[in-house]
């Protein structure tokens, strides 16, 4: 599902919202999640999962094309951990197929 698919779904589910209002709603949610992660805060959506930024240490990597060693700088990367209700929902559906 893409962002535009999600916007269309929200607009269809809530017909009293205009398309630009649904878009504003979805964009605001994603922006606030990103803003929270940027400032070092964790975002938890009960029943769905949580987002956090994790620190990655500096390391020596390897260029896959040439095999040459490359220094990779330390960085922060987003991490998502599913909530138990979502995990259970995914696993119960897979067992039925």
**Tens digit of pLDDT for each residue in 30-61?**
999 999 999 999 999 999 999 999 999 999 99
User: Residue 53's CB: how many other CB atoms inside 10 A?
Assistant: 18
Residues 6+ apart with CB under 8 A from 17: 10, 11, 25
* Cβ atoms within 10 Å of 33's Cβ, excluding its own: 15
Q: Which pLDDT score, from 0 to 100, does residue 96 have? A: 57
Distance of alpha carbon 13 from its chain centroid, rounded?
22
Task: Give the containing element (helix H, strand E) for 12.
Answer: helix 3-13
Q: What is the pLDDT of residues 69-93, one digit of tens each?
A: 999 999 999 999 999 999 999 998 6
pLDDT band at 25 (very low <50, low <70, confident <90, very high): very high
Q: How confident is the model at residue 66 (pLDDT cuts 50, 70, 90)?
A: very high
């Amino acid at each position: 599902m893409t962002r535009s698919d999600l916007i269309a779904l929200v607009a269809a589910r809530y017909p009293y919202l205009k398309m630009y209002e649904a878009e504003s709603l979805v964009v605001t949610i994603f922006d606030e999640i990103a803003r929270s992660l940027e400032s070092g805060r964790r975002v938890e959506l009960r029943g769905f999962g949580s987002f956090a930024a994790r620190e990655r240490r500096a390391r020596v990597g390897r260029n896959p094309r040439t095999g040459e060693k490359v220094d990779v700088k330390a960085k922060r990367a987003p991490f998502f951990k599913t909530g138990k209700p979502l995990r259970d929902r995914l696993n119960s559906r897979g067992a039925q197929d």
